[in-house]
């Protein structure tokens, strides 16, 4: 379940939306480009926010984290979920005037299947064919009950054929069916969009805003200062201190909960010679004081994590994850060093004050266990590239904020493991047949009881093998705006359900079609 918790201002909009106005929104990261096919690997939640104003998905999430057709009119499986039929919604055009039809959807899905970024994501897709002008049939090699969830993300974003034919132009000047039009991008500075007068949902009064400027502000404290000084109208945050700081009627904070909550964690590269040793990985988990992280860096507002899903989700199970025990960590590290030599590792993290503080805290903790940890700070795009190519020892991250646990499969399943230097969706590069079997079982059935059992096994294997060191459930993440901004988390889908509010990692992303500002 995905629930929004409003703080500060009321958070419930009963006022009539006002058309027009400009909104400036601070985001933490930019991207090299905005083409879902060629640039999708470098998309952060913040990039997705910007792209989503222009390019729309085949399927979207409602407030309960259930998928609903968006550019599709319907998405239906056959009896064993090995074939899905997508009916494309009639009467939609791209901003360049091209119509949306089955041919376009087929071409987009084929492009994602052929892309090295999404090839593993869509590896179960055998064929995508147009049955008629507005119907697409997707045939799979195995049952895939949760397939539509993947069409809510990058593989489901649809661009015109001209963009597929010219990826470089599509990267620099994206075109879509969305509520806004691309209006310029200055790398590392800002990205602007303006109202699309021909938007297919204009009869609903959408979008309300005339224009949005997304201002790139990687430094968290600088984003905070910008909002306090009224230089921006809103921002996304994962800093719990911001939740406290903006608990004021002049602001509205919309926090995430349930499956939308990401996990603060450290990925361990198991292809690394030292970190291939599960015993050492367990020792590093024992050397990590989660409570100290929560108290020192989160102001006590988040909860320690022992796996990918929180207690308030239907998928959580208790495990024997190795929690903090310094004496046990010292002993295990000493035993490892006696056979293999000193434990010297490098932590890759973002170059911002919050990440630096987190790295220094871990450095201090692990030094007490006899581990020499060096800090390696870099920018968002470089961090993502090095993660997926395996060029790291361990890396700080926020992940596992997906609507369904099957959407986390790519991070964990060994089918995504590639040789070092090549793109791998399995970030830790762990290979474990038991883990794979459980992930496959969770995907293959719609039976809730069977799926819960499968994902219990997933959590147990992760706790045993420790490819990931868990810190906390980042339930203090959210969107903070001036109280004159309305409609955050209040969007309505074409099917009539309330749209999912802020979600994603590391800072929440958001749809802006229903957002409005007091003039």
- SS3 for 428-489, per residue? CCCCCHHHHHHHHHHHHCCCHHHHHHHHHHHHHHHHHHCCEEEEEECCCCEEEEECCEECCC
Single pTM value for the model: 0.82
| Cα(512)–Cα(180) distance, integer angstroms | 9
Question: Given this model, what pLDDT does residue 7 score?
Answer: 46
Residue in 489, 507, 378, 502 with CA at minimum distance from that of residue 46: 507
CA distance 310 to 257: 9
Closest CA to 262 of 399, 428, 106: 399
What pLDDT does residue 166 have?
97
* Per-domain residue ranges of the chain: 263-473
* Spatial separation of the C-alpha atoms in residues 490 and 276, rounded to whole Å: 46
The number of helices, as runs of H, and strands, as runs of E, in the chain is 15, 22
Residue 88 contacts residue 105 (beta carbons within 8 Å) = yes
pLDDT, residue 121, reads: 83
**463 contact partners, CB below 8 Å, separation of at least 6:** 306, 307, 319, 320, 321, 322
CA nearest neighbour of 479 among 65, 6, 2? 6
Query: Using the 8-state DSSP alphabet, how is residue 382 labeled?
Result: H
Give the span between the Cα atoms of 449 and 314, in whole angstroms: 10
Residues 6+ apart with CB under 8 A from 427: 267, 387, 388, 397, 411
Is the sign of the CA dihedral 162, 509, 394, 224 positive or negative?
A: positive
CA distance 93 to 313: 38
**Tokens 């400027």 appear where?**
213
pLDDT of residue 10: 43
Name residues whose C-beta falls within 8 Å of residue 148's C-beta, 6 or more positions apart in sequence: 59, 67, 75, 84
Please state, as a whole number, how many other Cβ atoms lie within 10 Å of the Cβ of residue 478: 33
pLDDT of amino acid 508? 55
Return the CATH number of the domain spanning residue range 263-473: 3.10.105.10
Q: Which two tokens stand for residue 402?
A: 């997906």
CB 495 within 8 A of CB 473: no
pLDDT at 362: 98
What pLDDT score does 503 carry? 66
| Spatial CA neighbour of 249 closest among 8, 7, 518 | 8
Straight-line distance from the first to the last Cα atom of the chain, in angstroms, rounded to the nearest whole number: 34
DSSP secondary structure string, 247-261?
A: -STTEEEEE--BTT-
Q: What is the pLDDT along the chain (519 residues), one digit of tens a residue?
A: 233 334 455 445 568 999 999 999 999 888 889 999 988 777 777 888 899 999 999 999 998 889 999 999 999 999 999 999 999 999 999 999 999 999 999 999 999 999 877 777 898 999 999 999 999 999 999 999 999 999 998 899 999 999 999 999 999 999 999 999 999 999 999 999 999 999 999 999 999 999 999 999 988 899 999 999 999 999 988 888 888 899 999 999 988 766 778 899 999 999 999 999 999 999 999 999 999 999 998 888 889 999 999 888 889 999 999 999 999 999 999 999 999 999 999 999 988 888 899 999 999 999 999 999 999 999 888 998 999 999 999 999 988 878 899 999 989 999 989 999 998 989 999 999 999 999 999 999 989 999 999 999 999 999 999 999 999 988 777 899 999 999 998 899 999 999 987 765 545 567 899 999 998
Closest CA to 227 of 489, 505, 519, 24: 24
Q: Helix (H, G, I), strand (E, B), or coil: what is residue 301?
A: coil
pLDDT at residue 12 in the model:
52
pLDDT at 1: 29
Give the integer Cα–Cα distance in Å for 78 and 58.
19
């Amino acid at each position: 379940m995905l629930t929004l918790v409003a703080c500060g201002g009321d958070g419930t909009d009963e006022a009539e939306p006002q058309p027009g106005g400009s909104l400036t929104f601070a985001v933490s990261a930019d991207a090299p480009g905005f083409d879902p096919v060629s640039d999708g690997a470098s998309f952060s939640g913040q990039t997705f926010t910007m792209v989503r104003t222009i390019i729309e998905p085949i399927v979207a999430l409602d407030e309960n984290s259930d998928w609903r057709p968006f550019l599709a009119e319907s998405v239906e499986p056959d009896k064993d979920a090995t074939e899905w039929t997508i009916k494309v919604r009639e009467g939609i055009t791209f901003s360049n005037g091209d119509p949306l039809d089955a041919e376009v959807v087929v071409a987009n899905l084929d492009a994602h299947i052929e892309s090295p970024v999404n090839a593993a994501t869509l590896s179960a897709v055998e064929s995508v064919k147009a049955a008629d002008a507005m119907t697409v049939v997707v045939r799979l090699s195995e049952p895939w009950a949760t397939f539509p969830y993947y069409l809510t993300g990058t593989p489901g974003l649809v661009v015109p054929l001209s963009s597929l034919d010219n990826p470089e132009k599509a990267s620099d000047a994206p075109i879509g069916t969305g509520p806004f039009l691309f209006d310029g991008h200055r790398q590392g500075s800002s990205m602007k969009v303006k109202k699309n007068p021909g938007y297919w949902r204009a009869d609903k009064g959408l979008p309300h805003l005339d224009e949005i400027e997304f201002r790139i502000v990687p430094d968290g404290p600088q984003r905070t200062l910008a909002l306090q000084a009224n230089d921006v109208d809103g921002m996304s945050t994962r800093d719990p201190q911001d939740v406290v700081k903006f608990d004021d009627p002049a602001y509205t904070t919309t926090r995430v909960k349930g499956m939308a909550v990401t996990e603060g964690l450290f990925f361990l590269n198991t292809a690394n010679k030292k970190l291939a040793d599960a015993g050492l990985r367990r020792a590093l988990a024992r050397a990590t004081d989660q409570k100290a992280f929560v108290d020192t860096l989160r102001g006590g507002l988040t909860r320690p994590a022992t796996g990918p899903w929180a207690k308030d989700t239907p998928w959580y199970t208790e495990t024997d994850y190795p929690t903090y025990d310094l004496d046990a960590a010292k002993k295990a590290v000493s035993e490892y060093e006696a056979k293999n030599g000193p434990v010297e590792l490098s932590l890759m993290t973002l170059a911002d004050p919050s990440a630096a503080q987190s790295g220094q805290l871990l450095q201090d903790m692990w030094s007490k266990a006899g581990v020499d940890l060096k800090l390696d700070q870099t920018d968002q795009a470089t961090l993502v590239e090095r993660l997926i190519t395996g060029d790291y020892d361990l890396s700080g991250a926020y992940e596992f904020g997906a609507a369904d646990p099957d959407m986390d499969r790519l991070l964990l399943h060994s089918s995504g493991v590639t040789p070092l230097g090549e793109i791998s969706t399995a970030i830790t590069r762990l290979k474990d047949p038991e883990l794979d079997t459980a992930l496959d079982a969770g995907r293959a059935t719609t039976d809730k009881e069977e799926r819960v059992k499968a994902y219990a096994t997933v959590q147990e294997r992760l706790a045993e093998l420790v490819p990931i060191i868990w810190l906390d459930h980042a339930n203090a993440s959210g969107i903070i705006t001036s109280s004159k901004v309305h409609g955050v988390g209040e969007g309505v889908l074409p099917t009539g359900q309330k749209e999912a509010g802020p979600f994603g990692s590391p800072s929440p992303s958001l749809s802006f079609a229903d957002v409005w500002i007091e003039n």
